[in-house]
A = this chain, B = another copy of it.
Amino acid sequence: MAAKYIIIGGSAAGPKTASKIRRMDQEAEITIIQKGKYLSMASCGYPYFVGGVFDNPNQLISTPTGVPRDPGYFSKVKAIKAIVETEVVSIERDSKSITVRDLKSGKDSVMAYDKLVLAVGANPVKPPIPGIDLEGIDTLQSMEDAVKLKEVAIRKNVKKAVVVGGGLIGIETCEAFQLAGIEITVIEMQDQILPFMDWEMAKLVENHMVSKGVKVITKKGVTKFLGENGKITGVEITGGEIIPCDHAVFSIGVRPNSKLAIDAGLKVGDSGGISVNRFMQTSDPSIYAAGDCVEVTNLITHNKQHWPMGDAANLQGRVVAQNIVCGNIEEYNGIIGTGICKVFEFTAGATGLSQKMAKNEGFHNIITAIHSAPDKPGFMGGKPVIIKLIAAKSTGKLLGMQSVGLGDVSKRVAMAAMALHGRMCISEMVNLDMPYAPPFSPAIDNLIAAVHVLENKWQHNMSGISSVELKEKLDRGEKPFLLDVRGPEEFEQMRLGIGEVLIPLGAIRDNIHKLPKDKDAEIITYCKISLRGYENSSILNAMGYTNVKVLEGGIIAWPYEREL
């Protein structure tokens, strides 16, 4: 008799599981039960739909050849029964059945399964802030949300909007609205946007957003939504300031939708996500789970965490299908924590641990390096890419990488993610044979060059100081000798303005009298990207200076104000 597989959830992991089961087992009865109206939505595309990259919402729910992925499609092409606008109200594990409710008729019925898959996703967090039910406060989580926000973007009667939350979705939404001519304020409770990055990297992204006219407020939460006639007119933030607005988008995160699992007595982890083993099997061997509702293993920290990402959901769905059909043949080992987003002309991505995460996770003996350089030769129109690397000091093992900039960040993050999956060390990455040609990279790729900086620090050929460390030093009132080694024209155009002295690199040897007399004086040197800064530190070391540091990443990676 044909096996009965029921998949609860029809967004990403669900349809992927169902389709893969079908490809492996043509006999099975496969049913997808979806609470909403739509199936197999490309939900990561919502911000781009809202922002006008494309205007037909059907593209979000269609195959590449334009066929809508509706119940008819699933039935005809894949012989999968997809039931929409139907909620699963309970799982009866003893009888291996579920109770479903038709949301239009309100009628309940019972369906039996051999194997059940929970792909029930996550829900946006909406804390009980006063006024949160006012009209004009949305999330960007469902197809309906996307269509609604798209209308807001094209109706042009919203002038000012507030985005609450500076994570991935918040930032993407913000760009979408800004493109629609809406004045945007982002409010983030933490001291930085994009919390998966370190502060100084996220700050560079924030600076870019500000340069595009976005207002970013950090370290403030929304305390109240203000309204008139039931419609939002503003938000009050910590400290009492009021930001007037016609619209607000809530994007402070999502929470795994594990209610059904909890009610059924399945094991749920500390993160709130459904617990699964390496085969994506829940505590009930007949029930698997995948996507935004589960918790997964972080392969670097070995801790469990919630990881609501579309790519992971798809991969997990495939694994679930393989294991359901063939009996636990495929492992899903976990994630390394890779994310990326586009913010106007900037790209910001990260993989593995940030310095902050490493510290929080108890990796204390680490080494970091920041490197800035164009993503291809100047004559090919290279654009800057800034990379921060984190590695274990004792072993040289890579722990994490972050990258931001106008250039091709995505390639470098992908390379670093692969290196993390391969558990590679710095020593294995100094001489990588990468695809080099001038349209694609500098002769020494940005990631390799960043590894070289890390190795230079590791082998004590260079002492680095990060922008944050230097700023703290200056704020404490310390007065290191600050030495910019660029040319006078570059200096004229833009400089840090922190009391630095300018001596172009080529003139250092002739200007020894301008340097501190005390050979033990702290000297911090830099240039645009700190390659010349590095050269200079070698020169000064050779002159007998004992305390020379290079400002890592140079002026390009300086996240604070600069003088123009």
Contacts and interface: CB of A to CB of B under 8 A. Distances in A.
A435 B414 contact: yes
A53 interface: yes
A377 interface: yes
A269 interface: no
Interface in A236-291: none
- Kindly name the residue among A60, A73, A330, A332 whose own CB sees the greatest number of chain B CB atoms within 10 A: A330
Nearest to A436: B311
Interface in A408-464: 408, 410-411, 413-415, 417-419, 421-424, 428-441, 443-445, 448, 452, 459, 461
A388 to B, nearest CB: 15
A548 to B, nearest CB: 12
A168 B438 CA distance: 12
A53 to B, nearest CB: 6
A181 interface: no
A168 B419 CA distance: 27
Nearest to A527: B65
Nearest to A444: B314
A463 to B, nearest CB: 13
A498 interface: no
A414 B434 contact: yes
A310 interface: yes
Interface stretch (A75-83, A130-138, A204-212): A75-83
A42 interface: yes
A430 B53 contact: no
A369 interface: no
A429 B336 CA distance: 13
B422 A423 contact: yes
Contacts of A560: none
Interface string A326-338: 0001101101111
A3 interface: no
A340 B379 contact: no
A319 B349 CA distance: 30
Contacts of A12: 443
Contact of A417 (B19, B76, B377, B433): B433
Nearest to A26: B542
B452 A26 contact: no
A444 B20 CA distance: 14
A314 B430 CA distance: 11
Query: Can you tell how many copies of this chain the complex includes?
Result: 2
A342 interface: yes
A449 to B, nearest CB: 10
Nearest to A333: B431
Nearest to A417: B434
Interface in A308-331: 309-316, 318-319, 329-330
A92 interface: no
Given A433-B421, A448-B315, A48 B438 contact: yes
Interface string A25-56: 11100000000000000101100110001100
A22 B538 contact: yes
A380 interface: yes
Nearest to A411: B411
A380 B539 contact: no
Interface in A360-380: 374, 377-380
A218 interface: no
A382 to B, nearest CB: 8
Contact of A424 (B316, B421, B535): B421
A413 B435 contact: yes
Contacts of A318: 430, 452
Nearest to A428: B421
Interface in A166-181: 168, 172
22 contacts: A23-B535, A24-B538, A44-B436, A44-B443, A45-B380, A48-B438, A65-B486, A311-B444, A312-B433, A315-B430, A315-B444, A316-B431, A333-B431, A338-B436, A414-B434, A418-B419, A418-B424, A421-B422, A421-B432, A421-B433, A422-B422, A422-B428
List the 10 closest pairs (A to B, CB-CB), nearest first: A422-B422, A26-B542, A340-B435, A311-B436, A418-B418, A59-B379, A411-B411, A413-B435, A410-B440, A23-B538
Given A311-B443, A421-B422, 5 more contacts: A44-B437, A77-B535, A339-B435, A414-B434, A422-B428
